[in-house]
Amino acid sequence: MPARPSVSLCIPCYNAAAFLPGLRLDIRSQSIPFDQILLYDDASNDGTADLAEGMGIFTVLRGSTNIGPAGARNACIEAARGEFLHFHDADDRMLPHLNETLQLEIGDADVLIAGYQDVDLNTGAELGEPACHLDINSHPDPTRYLIEHVVRLQGLYRRRSVVAVNGLSRDLYRLGHEDPDLNIRLAASGARIRATASVITRRMIHPEGFSATRWRDCLAGARVCFTRLLRDLPSRYRTTLLHGLAVNAREADNKGHTYEADEGWRVLKDWGFRQFPSERPVMRVAGRVLGPGLLSAARNRKAGVALMRAVRGW
């Protein structure tokens, strides 16, 4: 029987003291223990680092300034000794078979994307069906699939493959969308990626979570990611990336983040992309005639923004 791979658990933390008791319980409940447990405290002000050190199961890495989840994960990657990495948010809950499942199913893959279940933290109610990405196993182009789908860092990652693409992108340190960005770059590098139907995590949804409190940063991160990938990836991905950028700009308008939307529509104009992302043919035609940025502002009843974008040809 082949030796099981070694796994370093990498936990980025910011003001996560309230979640550490549950996290410790989940780690101790694993049917196969992790080989290394790294917790990076991103300059918390609630005593996260001291509490974690007192628990005795974490190797605590202390950050002096807040650098965001991407930087925190890079610090863990640098300190990791395991052949594989499992990234885990402190406020999520692990199922007892998490590490065992990942080790049994990784095979010769460099990345194993596992499933997770969204759960309301306050009520315990499951939100929708478990998120799995099994379609990637049969997709002819994993890079394109990962551009078109937001896939979290949920599973097992071969450390040398992550290091080969320089880990999490520094231009996303203070933003969001770092998970999809790393997955896309890994696929583009030739890393072997597959998915499993196994659900290993309960992702706790609550008002203080990153996505809920920093939605604008998530939108900005997606814009930065797609804009960079337009330069770095082969031209065959250009239309897919531009469509993703248009969806992001439209969503920024819908959420009232006009600056982020403006930045996206500006990039799209520079690339000559005038398609408004919609399932309705009439909206797509209107986008080509009026300009997608102008149409987006008009849909949100932003007359001044629409006028400005009309002048700029957006």
Highest-scoring range by mean pLDDT, 77-81, 299-303, 307-311: 77-81
Res. 198 pLDDT band, cuts 50 70 90: very high
Mean residue pLDDT of the chain comes to: 94
Q: What is the per-residue pLDDT for 2?
A: 59
Residues 161-185, mean pLDDT to the nearest whole number: 96
Instruction: Evaluate if residue 151 carries a pLDDT over 60.
Output: yes
Residues 273-283 pLDDT 10s: 999 999 999 99
| Strand blocks (E) in the chain | 7-13, 36-41, 59-62, 84-87, 93-94, 111-120, 155-158, 193-205
Structure confidence by residue, pLDDT tens digits, 20-78: 999 999 999 999 999 999 999 999 999 999 999 999 999 999 999 999 999 999 999 99
Tokens describing residue 72: 């925190």
* Backbone phi, psi, residue 25, to 5°: -60, -45
Q: Where are the alpha helices (DSSP H) in 81-177?
A: 98-105, 142-148, 159-164
CB within 8 Å of 57: residues ≥ 6 apart = 24, 27, 28, 37
Mean pLDDT of 251-270: 95
Question: Which three-class secondary structure state does DSSP give residue 203?
Answer: strand
- pLDDT tens track for 204-233: 987 776 666 788 999 999 999 999 999 999
Q: What is the CATH number of domain 7-212?
A: 3.90.550.10
- What residue ranges do the domains of the chain occupy? 7-212, 215-312
Q: Check pLDDT > 50 for residue 1.
A: no
Percent above pLDDT 70 for the chain = 98
